[in-house]
Every structure is written in C-alpha cells, then in structure tokens.
C-alpha cells in the first residue's frame, strides 16, 4: 500500500522521507504549478460574466508542465494522496491547483507548522478536506492582482510614456507611502535651536527644563508599573536617543541661561525614584522577524525570508509566514522546564500570553524554534553563518517572550540655579528578567547619591547649537512595519513587494534607506491624479479586509470581484484614461479610452452600477474645496471609525484635500493636520517639549464639555509632544506626565 505526500519545496524531501519511512513517496511541486493564462481581454486569463468569474489556468512554465506529468504518474500508483503544501492561504490554493491538475477525487489535506516527527505524524493522523473558503480567497487575490496590474499597467501606466513598466494593488500603495515621506523631506525647512546643559563636579550632567514638574504632595515616589505593549520599546530598536534639554529657540536666550547657570549657586530641588516593570516582547511574526533581522543583522526582508525558509525546511523553526503571536502549549511548558534548569529566577508565576493583533490568524503559531533545547550554541558549528545568526535571534526572542518582566529603577534629579531648573535622569536594571535573552533597554545611567537641598558645584555650563531634522526615510524593515500597521499586504507579500519596487527602479536603496527615484515619484504623482483612491493605504487595506472575509466564508469571492470591478475599477479606468490627455507633456500623452474598457461600461451597465452603489467614486458633491474652491467628490468608505459612509476628496491636481463628516456640527471638516491654526486658542505658555505655543482644545466626554491644553503643532502631537496634555481640573490644568501648569492668561495679540 503506497501513500503519496505532495509538498511544495524540494528542500523538505529528505527530512520528510526520513520521518515517514517505508511505504511513503514524497514529491515536491516546486511551488506554484498553475497560473492564469495570458489570454482573453487584456490577457487576464479570466472573464467577468455577471456575478461569476470564469478562469483559465495553464501550467506556470515548461518545467511546471514536466513536474505535473511526473506527479500525475505518481498519483496513479498511490493508494492515498496527501497534500501537505504550506499552512497558509497560498499553500491551500496550491493544494487546490494540484487536485485540479492531477484529477484527484478526494485528496487528504494535512497541515503542520514544523517539520518534526511528532508534528508531521500528528498531521498525518488527522487529515481534513481542502478548505474551500481559503481557496476562494487565494483565487480572488490572484484575479484581483492581475486585474489591477494588467489593466492598470496597460491602460494607465504605459500611455504615460515615462519609462514606468507596471502598477499593482499592493505595489502602488506601498510606493505612495515612500513618495509621501519623500515629499515631506523635500518640503522640510530646518529650524535652529539650542540644547543647554550643566555638568556638576559631583559626577552627573543635567539639562535645562522650563519648569520643575515636581510630584504632587502626598503622592508616592515609588510605585510599580507594568508597561503595556503600546508603550513598550520596539524589539528592533538598537539606537538610544541622545538626551537634550527643552529646546531653546534663540541664541540670546541660550546665552542668558548659560550666564545664569554660571552666576547663580546650584542646589538639589527634588529627588524622585520609582520602580517599573517592562514586560517581555512577543515572539516573532513575519513582519517583526524581518524588522529585527534588518536592524541587528542588516538582512533585507527578502534575504531574511530565504534564510528562514532554510531553517524551516531543516526542521529547526516553525513556519515563517505568520501574523500570530501564539505559542503551542507544549512549547511553553518546554521553555519553563528549560528555565527551571538553567535560569530558575526567570520563571514567571503564570504562563505568559501575548495579545495578537486584530485580524491575526490565531490558529497559527508564531515563529519559534522547534526544540528549545537546540540552543544556538549547540547548532553554531553545524549551520551556515547567516542561518546561525537568524536562528539565534528567533531562539532568544521565543525564550524571552516566556520570561519574567525586567524590573527597572528610574531616578530623576531636579536642580535649580536662580530661576532656572535642570534635570538629570538615571536608570538601573534591578532584575534583568527577559533582557538576559532579548535586551531592548537603553544602557544603565547611574546617578550619585544626593540629598534634597544639597548644594552642588558647577563644572561646566554650555549651549549646543542644533537644528531640527527632516523625517527619516524608511529602511526596508521599517517599511515592512509601516505596511503591517497600514494593513497593506499580508506576511507573504511584504518582501516580494519591496523587491518589485526595486526591480522596477521605482525606489533605490541608498545607505540603508529606501529612496524613490525620479521615475517612482513621477509615476506616483500621475497615479495620485489618475487613480487617487487605489493607491491610498486605507483603500488597499479595505480590499485586504474583504479577502479576509472571503477566507472566513463570510463573502462570495466571485460576487465581490465582479461588483468591485463594475462599481469602482471599470469606471475609474475610464476616468483615468480621459484625464491622461490633460497631464503635463513630461508625464503622459493623449490617448483614447481602450475599446475593451469602454465595452464594460455600456449605458445600461453604468446605470446599474450607479444604482447599486449611489456613492460611486465619480459622484460630485455640493461642497467646495476649502483650498481651491472646486467641487469635491464623494469617496465611499466602510471604515468603522468614520461617522458617514463616505468622505470628500478634491481631485484637482496638486490639491488633494480631504474632508470628513462631523456629526456634532453637521458639516464636513478638514482633518486636524490640515486645519489652519486658531490664534484665539493660543495660551501664553510654551510646549515643554518643542517650545511651540500651547493651545486650548475643547472636547466632550461623558456628555460634558471638557477643556485641555496641548501642543499647537499638529505634526508634533503625533510624535515627540504626544505626552503634552494638560487637563482642566479643580486646581487648574494638570498633566499625568508633566504635573501642574498655572495659566496666566491668553496669548497677547501683538505677539
């Protein structure tokens, strides 16, 4: 009795054959075996008929045709056929293609996330049928990507005559993120500022602060805290922030502060300390292993996945394309046993669990070593260099995720000279915890033992001239992080997308950073005018969410694809083609609409689409753009964060303003980042972080009107000034981070 196991990669053949033994034949499909044919309208290989999709598949290439012939012969000689393609949506789709191409009636689908004897035998013992919902999502993705790529490239990109070869659903949205950052960099104007500090002979350095921010009377100076995943330092961070003072915006003020420091005696105003706990980071998922390998090993995402694939095929790690932070219970138990033997102080009282991101496939596992006892030291001499380095990261991160939190002792000393305050911060690790395996803490900074009101001896006072820096370009790991955060693509697409952008010469890697080329910027500018919705991260994320709904059986894939093309993409292509002739000569040339596209939009079909979707992207609103006064267009949206089913966008080239519905005011408004500043809201106090004016901001909470103070620079509120928030209470304005603030009155109008 012969059993046939079909897998994807030939790299697994030897190990799986050893595990299964006699009576088994293991064959590899060499990855994808079939693809949509390049035939029919626009060479799509499928037809959209009503609410159905008729696909025409052919062998991927001559080699795939030979592989299929070999597999077909092996299947005829086998009594039972098992399909063990990769445990993800793509693997399920490949399994379906094998079933169709080989004429298999009832193949047994087996899934394992690690190539170990126990995992493989358990999977063989519990086979299932192919998951039709996952297959539907995989087929929908293939058709959707080809629909956008082929039609968009042929009818929008090629007529531009600027050297661009293609566009894509994920590719173009990712390029848009890079181009947005590049334009921010080009528009940035550096501003000078000064960082003022003093050094004391007692052995520490302190920085200028506008106020002392002493703790409230009666408040405990020491309290244990647990850091949440949101404020936890990123695992891949290796660069410490250089400490500096509150920003001083003029040389005169900086010189005045230095003179005060030199002329007035110094003494300790307050000493506060607290103990905090920092929780261990979760084990790796696809995006975080690419980020960590990029930051620590200088691996590109593509190279990281190649090395991880080799480790997986060798049976050393679990499957490397996953977005789940879950770990199998037996592995958690094995880590506890390992720690009890080698590091007993690091065994937590309760098993550590990490919260998965919304939409993550929790049925899968995170990336981890298959055996915790296979330490990096044991494998150091048997693995190639890059495999050994990546395995070391994966092993340490997985073990660290199950350890105790790190306990930190943080100290803050505030000193005073005249009317000026100075601050020094120190940090000591009291208990290393998980950082013995994964250290993402800044270096220890120990402050001397001092007493309140103790006089200090000034060693030096200085003001260092600096200037604000433009936003940083994204490295490949940081772009992966951004793609994950924006919902663009899925774990299996991050590395291929970046690779495609570089191959098309839309971006280039310069000193470790991705920089759009002139071609990439030109293409993005054209697409922003011609297909503005398609390249928006939110729009692409909505399509990914729809694919997830198909994968969970909540939506029919053929209905989704046909409606999406009929209601949005077909009309959008016609609109884009009509606009091409109006683009600058350097970007495009005049072109008439393609007959194939026009044929899809007969008067009847167009009317039906409008009736089915009254908020089609082409519908003009009655609201004038506040920037250029042209009428804005309605853009449909399913976002749960919005108060309406659409938002407004200006389609005038170079404007791009958007407005959202305010249910309370019953009108559309610009986003906060684009609204002009209200001088009447400014106070007479400066932001303690950046030196801009603090502004008053009213909001409603629990049905009551509230008031707070915040930094008036919108861009800063998302970054360095995000903690600057003073809430109005009985005793004035108070911040949980910065303490009390006494309001002296509104900002004078002549400033």
* DSSP codes joined into one string, 315-366: TSB--S--------HHHHHHHHHHHHHH-GGG--SS----PPPTT--TTS--
C-alpha 148/C-alpha 569 separation (Å) is 8
Give me the helix-helix angle, 518-530 and 570-580, nearest 10°: 120
Q: Which residue in 400, 430, 407 sits closest to 280, CA to CA? A: 400
Report which secondary-structure segment, H or E, holds 25: strand 24-28
Quick one: fold of 3-130? Rossmann fold (3.40.50)
**Strand 455-456 vs strand 266-278: parallel, antiparallel, or unpaired?**
antiparallel
**Partners of residue 36 on adjacent β-strands:** 57
C-alpha 103/C-alpha 99 separation (Å) is 6
C-alpha 403/C-alpha 406 separation (Å) is 9
pLDDT at 282: 95
CA 195, chain centre distance (Å) = 33
Architecture of domain 192-267+410-424+441-467: Distorted Sandwich (2.70)
Is the Cβ–Cβ distance between 143 and 53 less than 8 Å?
yes
Q: What does pTM read for this prediction?
A: 0.71
Domain ranges of the chain: 3-130, 141-187+472-613, 192-267+410-424+441-467, 286-400, 619-675, 677-741
Domain 141-187+472-613 has CATH 1.10.460.10: yes
Beta-sheet strands, E only, within 418-505: 420-431, 455-456, 458-467
Report which secondary-structure segment, H or E, holds 123: helix 117-125
Give the Cα-Cα-Cα angle 240, 246, 247 (nearest 5 degrees): 100
Q: Tokens 């696909």 sit at which residue?
A: 55
C-alpha 238/C-alpha 439 separation (Å) is 9
pLDDT at 636: 77
Enumerate the active-site residues.
Answer: 319
SS3 content of the chain, % helix, strand, coil (to 5): 35, 25, 40
**Partners of residue 634 on adjacent β-strands:** 648
Give the Cα-Cα-Cα angle 408, 414, 415 (nearest 5 degrees): 145
Q: Tokens 């939009």 sit at which residue?
A: 601
Please compute Rg for the chain using Cα positions.
30
Give the Cα-Cα-Cα angle 37, 38, 39 (nearest 5 degrees): 95
Report which secondary-structure segment, H or E, holds 648: strand 646-649
| Helical H segments across 401-516, by residue range | 476-486, 494-503
Long-range Cβ contact pairs of 251-256 (< 8 A, separation 24 or more): 251/194, 251/463, 251/465, 253/194, 254/194, 254/196, 254/463, 254/465, 255/463
Spatial CB neighbours of 560, under 8 Å, sequence gap ≥ 6: 140, 546, 550
Is the Cβ–Cβ distance between 365 and 87 less than 8 Å?
no
C-alpha 95/C-alpha 102 separation (Å) is 11
On the question of a common fold for 3-130 and 192-267+410-424+441-467, the answer reads: no
Q: Which residue in 461, 430, 411, 464 sits closest to 268, CA to CA? A: 411
C-alpha 630/C-alpha 619 separation (Å) is 14
Q: Tokens 């703790």 sit at which residue?
A: 215
pLDDT at 94: 95
The count of other CB atoms within 10 Å of the CB of residue 739 is 16
Spatial CB neighbours of 18, under 8 Å, sequence gap ≥ 6: none
Quick one: fold of 286-400? Topoisomerase I; domain 4 (1.10.290)
Conformation bin of residue 389: beta by default, left when phi > 0, alpha when psi is -120 to 50: alpha
| Helical H segments across 588-740, by residue range | 595-599, 603-612, 714-717
With b meaning 16 or more CB within 10 Å and e meaning fewer, what string describes 333-358?
Answer: ebbbebbeeebeebbeeeebebebee
Q: Which two tokens stand for residue 4?
A: 């046939």
Q: Which residue in 417, 521, 594 sits closest to 183, CA to CA? A: 521
Is the Cβ–Cβ distance between 497 and 546 less than 8 Å?
no
User: What would the 3-class secondary structure string for 353-372 be?
Assistant: CCCCCCCCCCCCCCECECCC
**pLDDT, mean of each 10-residue run, the chain (751 residues):** 90 92 93 92 92 95 93 94 92 95 94 93 95 95 95 93 91 96 94 96 95 51 34 38 85 96 96 94 94 94 95 94 91 95 93 68 79 94 95 97 95 96 94 94 88 96 94 94 89 90 94 94 94 91 91 94 94 91 54 37 33 46 80 75 75 74 78 64 80 80 82 76 85 82 49 37
Is the Cβ–Cβ distance between 576 and 598 less than 8 Å?
no
C-alpha 391/C-alpha 375 separation (Å) is 9
Q: Which residue in 313, 322, 288 sits closest to 89, CA to CA? A: 322
Is the Cβ–Cβ distance between 658 and 648 less than 8 Å?
yes
C-alpha 81/C-alpha 20 separation (Å) is 14
Q: Which residue in 329, 429, 316 sits closest to 382, CA to CA? A: 316
Q: Give the chain's end-to-end CA distance (angstroms, integer).
A: 91
User: What would the 3-class secondary structure string for 168-206 be?
Assistant: CHHHHHHHHHHHHHHHHHHHCCCCEEEEEEEEECCCEEE
The count of other CB atoms within 10 Å of the CB of residue 18 is 11
């Amino acid at each position: 009795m012969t059993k046939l196991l079909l897998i994807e990669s030939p790299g697994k053949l030897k190990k799986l054959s050893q595990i299964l033994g006699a009576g088994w034949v293991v064959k590899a499909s060499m990855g994808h075996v079939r693809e949509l044919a390049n035939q029919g309208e626009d060479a799509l290989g499928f037809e959209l008929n009503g609410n159905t999709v008729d696909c025409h598949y052919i062998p991927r290439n001559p080699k795939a045709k030979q592989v299929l012939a070999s597999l077909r012969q092996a299947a005829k000689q086998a009594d039972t056929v098992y399909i063990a393609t990769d445990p993800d949506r793509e693997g399920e789709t490949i399994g379906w293609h094998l079933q169709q191409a080989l004429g298999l009636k009832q193949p047994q689908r087996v899934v394992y996330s690690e190539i170990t004897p126990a995992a493989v035998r358990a999977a063989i013992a519990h086979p299932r049928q192919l998951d039709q919902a996952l297959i539907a999502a995989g087929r929908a993705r293939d058709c959707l990507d080809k629909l956008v790529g082929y039609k968009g490239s042929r009818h929008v990109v090629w007529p531009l005559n600027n050297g661009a070869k293609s566009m894509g659903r994920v590719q173009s949205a990712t390029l848009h993120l890079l181009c947005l950052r590049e334009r921010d960099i080009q528009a940035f104007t550096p501003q000078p500022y000064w960082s003022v500090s003093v050094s004391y002979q007692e052995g520490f350095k302190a920085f200028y602060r506008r106020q002392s921010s002493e703790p409230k009377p009666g408040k405990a100076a020491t309290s244990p805290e647990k850091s949440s995943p949101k404020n936890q330092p990123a695992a891949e961070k290796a660069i410490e922030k250089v400490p500096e003072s509150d920003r001083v915006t003029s040389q005169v003020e900086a010189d005045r502060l230095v003179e005060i420091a030199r002329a007035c005696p110094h003494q300790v105003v307050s000493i506060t300390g607290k103990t905090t706990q920092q929780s261990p980071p979760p084990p790796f998922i696809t995006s975080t292993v690419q980020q960590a390998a990029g930051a620590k090993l200088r691996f590109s995402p593509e190279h990281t996945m190649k090395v991880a694939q080799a480790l997986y095929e060798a049976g050393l790690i679990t499957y490397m394309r996953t977005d789940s932070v879950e770990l199998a219970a037996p592995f958690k138990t094995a880590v506890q046993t390992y720690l009890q033997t080698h590091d007993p102080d690091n065994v937590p009282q309760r098993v550590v669990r990490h919260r998965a991101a919304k939409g993550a496939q929790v049925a899968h596992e995170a990336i981890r070593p298959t055996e915790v006892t296979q330490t990096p030291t044991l494998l150091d001499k048997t693995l190639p260099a890059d495999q050994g380095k990546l395995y070391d990261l994966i092993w340490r991160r997985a073990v660290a995720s199950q350890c105790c939190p790190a306990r930190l002792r943080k100290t803050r000393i505030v000193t005073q000279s005249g009317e000026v305050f100075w601050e020094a911060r120190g940090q000591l690790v009291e208990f290393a915890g998980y950082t013995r395996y994964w250290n993402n803490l800044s270096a220890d900074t120990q402050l001397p033992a001092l007493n309140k009101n103790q006089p200090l001896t000034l060693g030096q006072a200085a003001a260092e001239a600096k200037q604000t820096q433009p936003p940083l370009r994204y490295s490949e790991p940081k772009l992966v992080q951004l793609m994950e955060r924006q919902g663009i693509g899925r774990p299996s697409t991050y590395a291929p997308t970046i690779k495609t952008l570089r191959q098309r010469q839309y971006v280039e890697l310069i000193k470790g950073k991705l920089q759009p080329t002139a071609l990439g910027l030109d293409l993005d500018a054209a697409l922003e005018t011609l297909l503005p919705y398609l390249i928006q991260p939110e729009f692409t994320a909505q399509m990914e969410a729809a694919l997830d709904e198909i994968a969970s059986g909540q939506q029919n894939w053929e209905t989704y694809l046909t409606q999406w093309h009929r209601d949005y993409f077909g009309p959008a292509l016609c609109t884009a083609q009509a606009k091409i002739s109006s683009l600058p000569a350097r970007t495009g040339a005049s072109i008439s609409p393609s007959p194939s596209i026009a044929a899809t939009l007969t008067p009847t079909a167009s009317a039906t689409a409008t009736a089915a979707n009254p908020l089609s992207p082409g519908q003009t609103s009655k609201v004038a753009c506040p920037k250029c006064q042209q009428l804005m267009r309605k853009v449909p949206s399913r976002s749960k964060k919005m108060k309406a089913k659409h938002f407004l966008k200006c389609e005038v080239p170079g404007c791009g303003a958007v407005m959202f519905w305010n249910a309370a005011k019953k009108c559309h408004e610009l986003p906060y980042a684009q609204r002009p500043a209200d001088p009447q809201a400014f106070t007479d106090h400066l932001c303690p972080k950046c030196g801009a004016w603090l502004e008053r901001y009213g909001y409603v909470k629990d049905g009551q009107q509230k008031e707070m103070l915040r930094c008036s620079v919108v861009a800063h509120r998302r970054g360095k000034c995000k903690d600057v928030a003073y809430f109005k209470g009985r005793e004035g304005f108070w911040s949980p981070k910065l303490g009390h603030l006494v309001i002296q009155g509104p900002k004078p109008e002549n400033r």
